[in-house]
Amino acid sequence: MLLPKLWKSCNLPFLESPCIYGFSIADGYGFYLTDFTSLWNQRLNQDELIAVAAENGLEDVTNECMANLLCALEESVSNKDNLSFTQADNVIECKLTGEFNWTFTLTKRSPEQTVTFLSQLNYQQFSNNVYLTHQINNLQKIIAVKDTFIKFLTENFKQTHGLDLINKYKRMNKQDIEAIEQFNKIRWSKASAIEYRKVRTSKKRSEMEELSKNINEAIGNSWKFANSFYTNEEELEEQLSPIKIHPDLSPIKSSSPPPPGAKKKLKFGALGVKPSLPKPHTPVAPTGATPTPSPRKKKQKIGSLH
């Protein structure tokens, strides 16, 4: 039994508890509806699917048509506005209207089958929890890397500009101080629990309203790895494009070429010519004063010293 990875919630007038339903494709299809106490479902293999398609006016369904039909059913079922449920004894009929009409005949299953289904639904929850925990841990690692980079930029900014702008920003954004400072995992965990508890207690709901809200939020997204405990489930690998560093954001900037017509500056020694040094300043004697001749060394002839 391969359960759906996309569930929808609904409240049916003939059932007391909130319900969820889902559609899965596996050698045909499976449609499941549960109020977490009982199970109604319909599972059709390919041959049975072809027969039901003929009953709904779709003749000569080939393998290619079957794949398109299953995808169309899956997409249509995900829109609750296309569905209507009615109950007759132990059978619930779900009628699909829209691009084409289809009727799902959901039969109530035995307690043993229901227990098996609910067990696998719990397994899906465990798989979801593991994946969400992985995402949280990965996000915390990313935050730690960003904290290191922010600290590097802050220290360099302080050396060149001081602390005035940084302190001014903190004063103007006091509500963000918790997020601005370095991430503290323990403090964040406690703060999240406090905030969540305040949100829950501030909105007074009945037990059934709280349950419906939790179900709606829990199944709101596709459970990507909900069936990861199935070893034979085919997984699709996702492609991730490489990160491109923008030239303006790169820590190493390449020198831009000079504009057309601009003269290129040459460094000293580039042409083998030494630069001329400035002449030493010669003091000017004041007016009327007799200039004092600079002392000169007397040249000696060779052989004048013995």
Q: Which of 7-16, 194-203, 248-257, 264-273 has the highest mean pLDDT?
A: 7-16
- Ranking 72-76, 98-102, 239-243 by mean pLDDT, the lowest is 239-243
Q: Which of 49, 14, 54, 56 is nearest to 35 (CA)?
A: 14
pLDDT band at 237 (very low <50, low <70, confident <90, very high): low
pTM (2 d.p.)? 0.70
pLDDT band at 228 (very low <50, low <70, confident <90, very high): confident
CB neighbour list of residue 230: distance below 8 Å, 6 or more residues apart: 2
67-81 pLDDT per residue, tens? 888 999 999 998 888
163, 201: one domain: yes
The total number of structural domains in the chain stands at: 2
120, 96: one domain: no
CB neighbour list of residue 45: distance below 8 Å, 6 or more residues apart: 27, 28
Domain termination residue (choose one: 109, 138, 170) = 109
CA 92/CA 106 separation, integer angstroms: 5
- Ranking 35-39, 42-46, 296-300 by mean pLDDT, the lowest is 296-300
Task: Check whether 45 has a pLDDT greater than 80.
Answer: yes
Q: Which residues of 60-87 are buried (b: 16+ CB within 10 A; e: fewer)?
A: ebeeeebeebbeebbebbeeeebbebee
165, 127: one domain: yes
118, 214: one domain: yes
190, 146: one domain: yes
Domain that holds residue 182: 113-218
Q: What is the rounded average pLDDT of the residues 117-136?
A: 92
